[in-house]
Structure 1
């Protein structure tokens, strides 16, 4: 076997990838039929798994993937039952993205979230598996959610610190300016479109040390045509009626969009695409 030249970094080839988290990792609003199957959304993690499967195949290795993420879950669920189930699958790579639903709360305990997240990362690393994390997207231009920008920034800084201390990889969504374009987001303005998920999957692949074969994924779209103030106000009012109101009602009644849902891909299985 040919050995790499001294000082040349050779990215690892993973064979068992398990993703845990909330709606972001479940892949909500990515209904690209190339990746979405059996009535479930696809998402960045499914797309990343397809890339990693191709890399493993080229190296002559089998590859398996599980996705245990469920929409609406808070960090306690992600680092608790989801992580227990993930480690029972004996992965060599775990993506763990959580806390987004927690920091929407004004009284979120950011130090407590960071401590729980770091304990989970350390637990994964102790098994010998690698860890992939992700910062939040900068919500500076997001209606209503922009009020959480300070909390999101602190959570992002904590993620980078946790990753440095534990040798984890990080998807830098905060720095991926293309995601600030509302055309990357679905009608609910909370979950990404297929194009947004595609770009995040390539950012994830790069974060893991592999060079994406697709070019231009970091480049923002050309500017969108301007819309009138009246049209913008109407769109915002419709969004508030259709999405904000139901979200607030669920919070007030102690319900979640993920109630009664289970993992879409609970076992490590080969990745298939059309």
Structure 2
């Protein structure tokens, strides 16, 4: 895909985000954002991206509206089904669609079927004239437990790039964003990002859309963290298993999701506060 020149970079006025907990913004509890316009418990990369897009649109004399239909725990079938139906009804000119992460956690995930569903969704969005923004998974090579899904995550990432190339979509390259491999970018549950992680993903999204982020160091990894002892590491792992892994396994066993009974935090397009 050829990147447009600076004078051709597109602006958007109606952005809708669909997906799961990543796009809902879980664990980005930045008080300046959550207390100033976020319509839920968390902000997140999509809210942060929307703020940048809104500023650029307003600088050019355009109005801007944003909706976020993502809900934690949702699998791809919901993202490309009910969420996408609602998104297109809002007549967006930009849709971010990130899904499949909860699916590929399952050992029997059908990656070909996931790719087919995702491609059908992208084609449906592009048929309206709207632009599409997708995201690869983060490389889970160093993630406890989740690293077992690295092969599936890698195939999913490759499929995303292929779909984007075939249909002129944009891609946030989380797999190649090495700064995200630092555990200080991740919340205590080791599944969702901190505010700093979400901030960097928003910068990556802005770049993927053809705009240069104002922060020139957004890709630069943090300085190395001080080492911890083996005992401290074991204690941290035990606490993580007790507080997060156990409840997650329990929900799986009883067929429940963390997003059950939850609604989208921004179900209608509206201006940012």
CA distance in 1, matches of 2:248, 2:5: 51
Q: 2:203 corresponds to which residue?
A: 202
Q: 1:28 corresponds to which residue?
A: 26
Question: In 2 relative to 1, CA 74–58 (structure 1 residues): closer, same or farther, beyond 3 Å?
Answer: same
| TM alignment of 1:63-142, pairs within 5 A | 63-142=64-143
Question: In 2 relative to 1, CA 7–190 (structure 1 residues): closer, same or farther, beyond 3 Å?
Answer: closer
Q: Residue 95 of structure 2 aligns to a residue in which SS? A: strand
CA distance in 2, matches of 1:7, 1:26: 31
How many corresponding residue pairs?
Answer: 267
**Which shifted more, 35-44 or 99-108?**
35-44
CA distance in 2, matches of 1:58, 1:7: 19
Q: 2:43 corresponds to which residue?
A: 42
Q: Residue 158 of structure 1 aligns to a residue in which SS? A: helix
Q: Residue 20 of structure 1 aligns to a residue in which SS? A: strand
Contact 2:40 2:265 in 1 (8 A): no
Structure 2: which 5+ residue stretches go unaligned? none
CA distance in 1, matches of 2:20, 2:32: 22
CA distance in 1, matches of 2:56, 2:139: 31
CA deviation vs aligned residue, 1:141-172 (integer Å, no higher than 9, x gap): 00000000000000000000000000000000
| TM alignment of 1:260-271, pairs within 5 A | 260-271=261-272
Deviation at 1:78, TM superposition (A): 0.1
CA distance in 2, matches of 1:259, 1:19: 19
CA distance in 1, matches of 2:31, 2:108: 39
Q: 1:174 corresponds to which residue?
A: 175
CA distance in 2, matches of 1:167, 1:38: 31
Deviation at 1:230, TM superposition (A): 1.1
**Which shifted more, 37-46 or 78-87?**
37-46
CA deviation vs aligned residue, 1:208-248 (integer Å, no higher than 9, x gap): 00011112100000000001111101110110010000001
Q: 1:19 corresponds to which residue?
A: 17
Deviation at 1:184, TM superposition (A): 0.2
CA distance in 1, matches of 2:197, 2:228: 22
Deviation at 1:39, TM superposition (A): 4.8
Q: 2:62 corresponds to which residue?
A: 61
Q: Residue 241 of structure 2 aligns to a residue in which SS? A: helix
Contact 2:39 2:266 in 1 (8 A): no
CA deviation vs aligned residue, 1:107-165 (integer Å, no higher than 9, x gap): 00000000000000000000000000000000000000000000000000000000000
Structure 1: which 5+ residue stretches go unaligned? 1-5
CA distance in 1, matches of 2:5, 2:198: 33
The Cα RMSD (Å) is: 1.1
Q: 1:163 corresponds to which residue?
A: 164
CA distance in 2, matches of 1:156, 1:192: 19
Deviation at 1:40, TM superposition (A): 1.9
Question: In 2 relative to 1, CA 13–107 (structure 1 residues): closer, same or farther, beyond 3 Å?
Answer: same
Deviation at 1:34, TM superposition (A): 2.2
Deviation at 1:9, TM superposition (A): 5.3
Q: 1:3 corresponds to which residue?
A: none
Deviation at 1:79, TM superposition (A): 0.1
CA distance in 2, matches of 1:213, 1:165: 30
Matched, 1:257 2:255: no
